[in-house]
Structure 1
Amino acid sequence: MFAKSLTSLSILAVALSLPYQALGHAIITPAIGITGTPVRADAVRVSSTVPCGNGVDVASAIPGSAAAQAAGNAFNVTITNFNGGVDGSTEIVSTLVDPSGTGASFTGGSATITTNGVEAPATTGSVPIAGTLPDGTVCTGGNDGASCLVSFATAGGFGNCVLISQADSA
């Protein structure tokens, strides 16, 4: 009887913990398709097959989206995590660059992250991220015809796409 109760209790504990496995979210802003202050529900998981995130329609998300202004190829964005630990990681572990700014062709290499977050932050909050587009990158898309689309992925598996504008940068 005790063993059966212990097994049932173990199963219940695992079942109750499952919903909390997806609560660690992080979002990089200005994120395409997000207006105003991002919330936990705006954070999505990214992968090589969905570099801007599950359920993100890039073509309809770009119009009206703000871009981060580049100075030459250098840019600054902000990452916000909604819980501490690795699942809410603010560390960027990979980037993909689409010079066309459409999300159709992430063939522009990877951005170099020069100021990064941490793998497992102790608390929630926002931190700055700095990076540079690859040398020779010419951005030709976005709302201004001078933006690249950059996909960011965190150590926790979350991420999203951000427009980086080279308009009027020198």
Structure 2
Amino acid sequence: MAAPVFGHVGSYLPGDAFRSRLELRLSGMHRPVRAGIAGSQHTGAESIVLSQVYEDDVFTEDEIIYTGQGGRDPKTGRQTTDQTLNDRNLALCKSQETGLPVRVLRKVHDEESGELVFRYEGLYRVVGHAFETGKSGFEVWKFRLRPAPNGRPA
């Protein structure tokens, strides 16, 4: 397995769009085809994908509240149990500890084609995390990320 990359990959820039999770993987932007967090508790998170499946995610110009992994029913997509501090969630905790940047990708409607794409939002840093009650009443890990210096165009 290739070594993790923390920061920009190749010549990709914020705003670049990818048509599928497979294209994200092949480009090296986000290696897992399904998981929203790429990384491990030992190295930190290389990248995350906001794919409009966790109801507690919040994306604004100034910060992201990213819901950790786990606790969702695979059939309905609804949060049905509390999350645990698993390897992928620990990866984001490690990123907060190290200060290494995390690539952020977000599922959005492409204005030209009208299709859903994964847009590269830039580099962010994990600046905090909490275990809180989410909208469905279950405990979820919430990670606060802010844009990294030089992480996206001004």
TM-score, L = length of structure 1: 0.30
Larger helix share, 1 or 2: 1
Identify, as 1 or 2, the structure richer in strand.
2
> Structure 2 length as normaliser, TM-score?
0.32
